[in-house]
């Protein structure tokens, strides 16, 4: 079986083509009077910022392909072809960062991310290409097997079996297709678009609200007068001009001011509302009103735990399900490394390392690897595990003090301190003396 041809084209001309999908009814006109789609929502700075933060965070995490060790633990499966595809280049036109960033953007806007799996004659995965989520539909055949219909450039639909598609889905109602966060929150985003547009028009009109020109008599050409007024005093470049009214004309504003409409408060609330949709801390989208040096670090840790971890788990399980055979799942696994994002400040890390080092569950190389430092050789004690010498098992507490031999050991210790050359005497002494001699010769 030859390698299948990919439907992905990196230089494909962008189009506005979209298919009727199960979530399409959720898009369209909002209560604020604005049409919200995946593309139009990205024009909102808050939406763009949240999508970029999450997409870059997932794309920037180290992604490794591991193999279980027989004695326990794990090691990187560097020789497996999937390691290079996931960690470096999923295809000849993309890096791993760009590939994951693209799919994560699809996942955040459409609720689904798809990639075509290219295999060689042996059935091994040799490439992954992203598919446009608005062009794909999920169906079941007569045997209840899932398949995907993908619309290519000429409008033709191609049927893809589930073994040729990597599908990462977001929150949904049936476990087969995710629902778009943009569609589910279209009214909140529509209100944000409406308030932003209102502010733009307000300043475009010279920061002056609309009003009425009143004339005591009858005007022969009111349209000409209105156009002349707008041309003279409309726009931000004409702001603060002095108006001269003739023939008893009077200008009366009729619109409420932005302060009365709580324009700024509404815009600020909608930014927090959009950040809430994507579960992004407000300080990460530029709202520092309720943030301080004492709580920003905690919010950042909660962002990793409650926001990134669920997305990362979706990625790991979807890739394991689609890319590994049943036998490989018993031997290999895919894992994102989020430890770097969970690290605290320098002082907190050093205190934690000191605790691990002194209690014997971290070596110097374990610590240096976490800090991205070069390893130390075994001759220099890089893999040596140490523990404090004053710690004993609970069952041995007081054992030496309750024996007569302990008194003899104390006498011998005094002799060692008072006299030099007593090594021969210590050799005939107790095990305690021997242990002291061994410690002194280290």
Specify whether the CB–CB gap between 53 and 284 falls below 8 A. yes
Closest CA to 190 of 15, 22, 43: 43
Separation between Cα atoms, residue 275 and residue 309, nearest integer Å: 17
Specify whether the CB–CB gap between 54 and 89 falls below 8 A. no
pLDDT at 1: 42
Domain ranges, ordered by start, for the chain: 1-208+256-342, 210-254, 343-380, 394-440
Separation between Cα atoms, residue 330 and residue 333, nearest integer Å: 8
Report the phi/psi class of residue 218: left, alpha or beta, with left for phi > 0 and alpha for psi in -120 to 50.
beta
Main-chain dihedrals φ then ψ at residue 11, nearest 5 degrees: -110, 25
pLDDT at 38: 82
Separation between Cα atoms, residue 241 and residue 243, nearest integer Å: 6
Separation between Cα atoms, residue 116 and residue 128, nearest integer Å: 6
DSSP letters spanning 238-265: GTTPPP---TT-EEEE-SPPTTTTTHHH
Closest CA to 132 of 7, 235, 45, 309: 7
Q: What is the mean pLDDT of each run of 10 residues along the chain (442 residues)?
A: 56 38 49 71 86 93 90 86 94 94 95 94 92 91 89 88 93 86 82 72 58 64 67 55 62 58 67 87 77 72 88 95 93 87 72 85 85 82 80 62 56 57 47 42 46
pLDDT at 392: 62
pLDDT at 437: 41
């Amino acid at each position: 079986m030859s390698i299948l041809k990919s439907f992905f084209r990196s230089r494909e001309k962008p189009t506005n083509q979209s298919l009727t999908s199960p979530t399409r009814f959720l898009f369209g006109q909002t209560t604020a009077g604005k049409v919200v789609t995946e593309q139009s929502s990205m024009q909102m700075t808050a939406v763009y910022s949240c999508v970029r933060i999450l997409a870059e965070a997932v794309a920037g995490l180290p992604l490794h392909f591991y193999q279980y060790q027989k004695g326990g633990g794990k090691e990187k499966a560097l020789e497996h072809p999937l390691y290079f595809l996931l960690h470096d280049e999923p295809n000849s036109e993309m890096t791993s960062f760009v590939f994951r960033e693209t799919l994560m953007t699809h996942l955040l806007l459409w609720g689904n991310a798809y990639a075509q799996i290219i295999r060689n004659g042996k059935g091994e995965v040799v490439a992954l290409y992203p598919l446009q989520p608005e062009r794909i539909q999920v169906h079941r055949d007569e045997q209840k097997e899932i398949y995907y219909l993908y619309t290519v450039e000429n409008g033709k639909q191609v049927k893809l079996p589930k073994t040729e598609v990597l599908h990462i889905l977001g929150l949904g109602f049936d476990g087969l297709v995710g629902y778009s966060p943009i569609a589910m929150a279209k009214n909140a985003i529509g209100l944000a678009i409406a308030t932003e547009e209102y502010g733009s028009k307000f300043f475009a009109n010279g920061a002056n609200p609309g009003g009425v020109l009143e004339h005591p008599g009858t005007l022969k050409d009111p349209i000409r007068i209105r156009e002349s007024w707008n041309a003279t005093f409309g726009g931000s470049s004409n702001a603060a001009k002095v108006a001269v009214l003739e023939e008893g004309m009077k200008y009366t504003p009729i619109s409420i001011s932005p302060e009365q409409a709580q324009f700024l408060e509404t815009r600020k609330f909608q930014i927090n509302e959009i950040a809430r949709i994507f579960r992004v801390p407000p300080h990460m989208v530029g709202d520092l009103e309720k943030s301080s040096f004492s709580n920003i670090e905690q919010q950042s840790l909660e962002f990793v735990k409650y926001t990134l971890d669920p997305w990362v788990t979706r990625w790991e399980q979807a890739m394991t399900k689609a890319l590994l055979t049943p036998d490989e799942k018993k031997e290999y696994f895919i894992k994102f490394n989020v430890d770097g994002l969970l690290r605290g400040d320098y002082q907190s890390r050093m205190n934690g390392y000191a605790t691990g080092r002194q209690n014997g569950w971290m070596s110097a190389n374990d610590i240096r690897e976490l800090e991205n430092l070069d390893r130390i050789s075994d001759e220099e004690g890089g893999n040596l595990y140490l523990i404090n010498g004053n710690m004993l098992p609970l069952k041995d507490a007081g054992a030496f003090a309750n024996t007569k031999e302990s008194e003899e050991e104390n006498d011998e210790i005094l002799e060692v301190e008072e006299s030099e050359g007593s090594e021969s005497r210590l050799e005939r002494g107790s095990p305690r003396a021997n242990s002291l001699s061994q410690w002194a010769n280290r």
